[in-house]
Chains A and B, each alone.
Chain A
Amino acid sequence: MKTTMPIPTAPAREESGRVLALALIAAGILLPLLICALAAPPLFRLLLFTLWLNGLASTLPPQPGRRLRLGALLALLLLALHQLFAPLLPGLIASAPPGSAAPALHGDAALISRHLAAGRSELLRFARQLTALLWPSTATLALALLLAGLLTALRPPLHRELLRLAPNRALTRRAWLLRELPDRFGRWIRDESLRSLLMGGLWALGTWLLGYSHPAAAGLFMALAAPTPFWGPLFAAGLSLFFALDPGHLPLQAGGAAIVFAVTWLAAHLLLTPRLALSRPPLSRGWTLLWALAGYLCAGVGGFFIAAPLIAAARHADGALHLPTPRSCEPTSPQSVQFS
């Protein structure tokens, strides 16, 4: 007879030690990337895209034939999208803002209009900097695809060799790390990418229909904010109001944006959450807000966007680095383990 035994919860490590370990891992992930971004942006883009593609590749189906076909299809799709968007991107994100304040406005309306224009200009500058930092050249993307393909092909022999070189006492720990690291990060990267794509796309479409001045930038912010659970989409929706046309249209456009936001949120939750919920490490809304605000204080809007994903990455790394102690195992995908 089959019995289902729930996995006990994670070991009760000291909370302060856990937070410190997470902070150290987060710093270990962020600092090399930051140094790379400051010192050599092309290398940073190559590294980032290789890691992203490698994460996506680890979620491809295990059957060699299907894996190869889907991998090639994904690579071609990415190259095609890159070719399509490369000439359009400067126009979409960085076009000159439309007439900032209508000359007929006076009093509070003029003040709001001036604030909106200033905020819009600031956000567009941030979007321009961001796209300049992240948007790869075709050569970089092709090289990243090649590297990710090579790494994917080399993964089984590399895995074998790394496992073989582990000393006896570290065999299970090494096997755990080699299994969990690509699995956790791969699923998380795939799911967050899908969520970002869906929410960013719907939001850009919605704001375009509502007549916002820069729907592409609004979509970009929504896509960047989607990996921050709960607060991210709200923050991005708030930022998008800066792209409303003028104070006269603001209430109407804000009302429309609320409907579009509800549709986007619902679509993401109905289509993605049931399938992808398990890849996101559990983090309470309070902690998420705290981390995101800390990120905002440290590095502005970019800090807000990056804080929660960074903590999620640190939690995934922490889960992969620490072997669950006997009889206190953290579940990966299933909620229970079956023993027959």
Chain B
Amino acid sequence: MERTNKKPEKEAGQPCRPEEIEYLHALNRLTPAGRKRLLTWLHVRTYAADEPLFRQGEPALCLFFLLSGSLALEADSRTGRPDRLKIVAPGQACGSAALAGDAFYGESCLALEPSRVAVLPQTAFHQLLAGQPAIAAALLQGLLEETLDDWRQALRTYSGLTDHLTRANIIV
């Protein structure tokens, strides 16, 4: 009989395999050689449901790529109940503030279900930037594309909502 509540494999990270990062959107612009180079810096972690990956206001030191499961990005609000900003789907990245230098996470991230993520430490990005800037630039471009997609999506939702409200106002 299959156990429904599966325990995470191990709390420490595991080495990352090449096939695991094949479908990550942020790495689309990387060449196979670049991916191989990046792979040495990545490791895979498993998070249980409701386990936080990082909290709002913490120093941003790791970038996460979701391999499986789902994550939620939430921001503190004045009401006390956090605002859910986004659900991160497999293939997407979160915690991009880690690449912005001495920055802090602007939102909290927690696993909604048992999830596997690939972790890229900030140091790795700095090493790449110094030693192999082409790989770092490709990674940044990939992340920028992903961020722009998010931004367009948010704008579409927002404009749809305002449009709806305007129409409602007119009718009223």
Q: Which residues of A contact B (CB under 8 A)?
A: 61-64, 156, 159-160, 163-168, 171-172, 175-176, 178-179, 323-329, 331-334, 337-339
Contact = CB atoms under 8 A, between A and B. Distances in A.
Interface stretch (B24-32, B53-61, B82-90): B53-61
Interface string B100-116: 11111010000000000
B58 A168 contact: no
Nearest to B111: A168
A175 B41 contact: no
20 contacts: A63-B130, A160-B40, A164-B12, A164-B43, A168-B45, A168-B47, A171-B45, A171-B62, A172-B59, A175-B122, A175-B123, A179-B122, A326-B55, A326-B57, A326-B58, A327-B57, A329-B59, A333-B102, A337-B103, A337-B104
B146 interface: no
A64 B127 CA distance: 9
Contacts of A159: 121, 123
B19 interface: no
Interface of B: 11-15, 40-41, 43, 45, 47, 51, 53-59, 61-62, 100-104, 106, 119, 121-124, 126-127, 129-131
A164 B104 contact: no
Contacts of B102: 331-334, 337
A165 B10 CA distance: 10
A334 B59 CA distance: 13
B58 A166 contact: no
B108 to A, nearest CB: 9
B91 to A, nearest CB: 21
Given A167-B12, A168-B45, A329-B59, A178 B103 contact: no
Given A165-B13, A171-B119, A156 B61 contact: no
A284 B14 CA distance: 46
Contacts of B103: 337-339
Contact of B126 (A62, A326, A327): A62
Contact of B41 (A160, A167, A176, A339): A160
A62 B127 contact: yes
A68 to B, nearest CB: 11
A8 B122 CA distance: 22
A171 B101 CA distance: 18
Closest CB pairs A-B (n = 6): A326-B57, A62-B130, A175-B61, A327-B57, A164-B13, A167-B11
Contacts of B101: 334
Contacts of A160: 40-41, 43, 121, 124
Nearest to A7: B104
A324 B58 CA distance: 7
B62 A172 contact: yes
A166 B12 contact: yes
A212 to B, nearest CB: 46
B60 to A, nearest CB: 9
Nearest to A167: B11
A172 B43 contact: no
A332 B61 CA distance: 14
Contacts of B45: 168, 171
A325 B59 CA distance: 9
A91 to B, nearest CB: 45
In the complex, which of the residues B45, B47, B55, B61 has the most CB atoms of chain A within 10 Å of its own CB atom?
B61
Contacts of B127: 62, 156
Given A63-B130, A179-B123, 6 more contacts: A63-B131, A160-B124, A168-B53, A175-B122, A329-B57, A331-B102
B104 A176 contact: no
Contacts of A179: 61, 122-123
B131 A175 contact: no
Nearest to B45: A168
Nearest to B119: A171
A154 to B, nearest CB: 14
Contacts of A62: 126-127, 129-131
B114 to A, nearest CB: 12
A174 to B, nearest CB: 9
